[in-house]
Structure 1
C-alpha cells in the first residue's frame, strides 16, 4: 500500500513515515499543496495523510482538487488538523476527506486510523456485488454508483470513497435502522478514535448529492432516537 504524506513540518512527516514503514507501508513525502497535486497525478497513492495548514494550496483545496481529478484512482484522505480547528467545518465542507486526526497525536493512533481506512479497501476488494433499488445502482467491484433516471437511462453519482461506502451500506439492507456506532464499525472499523458526530456530517453530504430535497430526505431518513435508515420508494 502506497501512502503520500503531505506535511510541511519535517520532523512530523519523518515521524509519521517511520511508524508507517515499521508497519510495512511504502511512503512518500511532500511539503506543499502544489507538490501534493503533482505527486498524486504522477503516481496516485492508496491513501493521503494531508495536513490542513500547508504552504501554497491549503489542505482543503488540495483535497477538493484531488477529488475532482478525472482519474480512476480514489485514495482515502486522512486530514491532520491543529488542536482547536473546527472539525465539523473541516470534514463538513464538500472536499472529500474521509477522516481526521488532531495534533498533537499519538503515532500509534494514526497508524491505527490508516489501517482502519485501508482495511475497508481489502474487505470490499474480495467481493463482486451489485446493489439495486428503484433509483440507484451500486457496483462494489467497479466502485461505481449511478442514479436511475428512467427505464433505459442512468447518471453517475460523484461520491467520495466514504460517501460511496455509506450508500452501499444503506443499500445492502434497505429499511434497516443503523445507529452511529454500527455505521462507524462498518465504515471505519474498531480502530476509530474520533467523534461519532462525524457520521452526521457525512450523512448530510451524501444527502446533498442524492436527495431531491436534502432538508426533507426521501431516501436516507433520520429515525429519531435510533439512527438512520435507507428507503427507496417508487415515486
Structure 2
C-alpha cells in the first residue's frame, strides 16, 4: 500500500510545493492548514508521516505534535518538523515534543524527498529488527506492540522512548555511549544534542522506575538487571 503523508502548514504555497513533489514520488498526500485541523485529519486518515510546520498562528507545531502524540492510535506516527529557525532550542523543543526529525526552510525538494525516504527506511528497519520479546527481571519488552509490561501492568511508550529502552535492554550491563545511542535511535542523518537523550531517559525513568537505567557520567547509559 502507498504510504500517506499529512502536511500541516498555514502557508498555502508551501503546501502546494510539498504536495507536488511528494506525490511525484508515489506517496498519498493530505493537507491541513492549522494545528486543530491537522489533528482532526490525522485521526481520520492515520498518516504514516506528518510534515508539521513549527510556526503557525494559534496552536503552534510543538503543541500540535504533543496533542498528536497523546492520541494512542497516533503516538508512533512519524513526525518531521518544518521550521524556518535553526536554533538549537527550537530543535530541542521539537524532539522533546516527540518529533523524529526536522527540515529547515526554505525547503529543497530533493532534500525533502531524501529525508522522507530515510525516515521510512529507518522505521521499517527498526520494525524488522523487533522480532523477540526481552524479559529482564520485572520488565517485559513487547516489541510487536511497542509495550513494556512491568509487574503485569502494560506501559505504552512513544516510539523513541521504546527504541531507546530496547537498545539498552538488548545488552544489560553494557554502557552505551551517547554517540551510539544517537546513531542507533535517531539515525546518523539527524543531529540531536545530549539534552535530547537525557530528556528521553528521564521520561523512561518516570514510567519504568529509576533503578533500571544507570547514568555513567560523561559516557552514556546502561540497563541494570534488578
1:28 aligns with 30
Q: Is the 8 Å Cα contact of residues 82 and 104 (structure 1) preserved in structure 2?
A: yes
Q: Distance in 2 between matches of 1:181 and 1:112?
A: 23
Shift of 1:48: 0.9
1:142 aligns with 2:135: no
1:194 aligns with 191
Residues 128 and 72 from structure 1, CA distance in 2 versus in 1: closer, same or farther, beyond 3 angstroms? Answer: farther
Q: Is the 8 Å Cα contact of residues 214 and 224 (structure 2) preserved in structure 1?
A: yes
SS of structure 1 residue aligned to 2:98: coil
Of 201, 208, 211, the match for 1:210: 208
SS of structure 1 residue aligned to 2:113: helix
1:169 aligns with 167
1:130 aligns with 133
Residues 73 and 225 from structure 1, CA distance in 2 versus in 1: closer, same or farther, beyond 3 angstroms? Answer: closer
- Structure 1 residues 107-116 or 169-178, which shifts more? 107-116
TM (norm. structure 1) is 0.81
Shift of 1:88: 5.8
Q: Distance in 1 between matches of 2:93 and 2:192?
A: 13
1:90 aligns with 93
C-alpha RMSD of matched pairs (Å):
2.5
Q: Distance in 2 between matches of 1:177 and 1:101?
A: 31
Unaligned runs of 5+ in 2: none
1:78 aligns with 2:80: yes
Of 210, 231, 235, the match for 2:224: 231
Shift of 1:139: 1.4
2:70 aligns with 68
**Alpha-carbon displacement from aligned partner over 1:16-55 (angstroms, at most 9, x marks no partner):** 3333334332221111111111101111111111112223
Q: Distance in 1 between matches of 2:52 and 2:180?
A: 27
Q: Distance in 2 between matches of 1:176 and 1:168?
A: 13
SS of structure 2 residue aligned to 1:181: helix
The count of corresponding residues between Structure 1 and Structure 2 is: 221
Unaligned runs of 5+ in 1: 213-217
**Alpha-carbon displacement from aligned partner over 1:108-152 (angstroms, at most 9, x marks no partner):** 334333333322331243343111111321111222222x22xxx
Q: Is the 8 Å Cα contact of residues 223 and 229 (structure 1) preserved in structure 2?
A: yes
Q: Is the 8 Å Cα contact of residues 46 and 74 (structure 2) preserved in structure 1?
A: no
Q: Distance in 2 between matches of 1:112 and 1:229?
A: 33
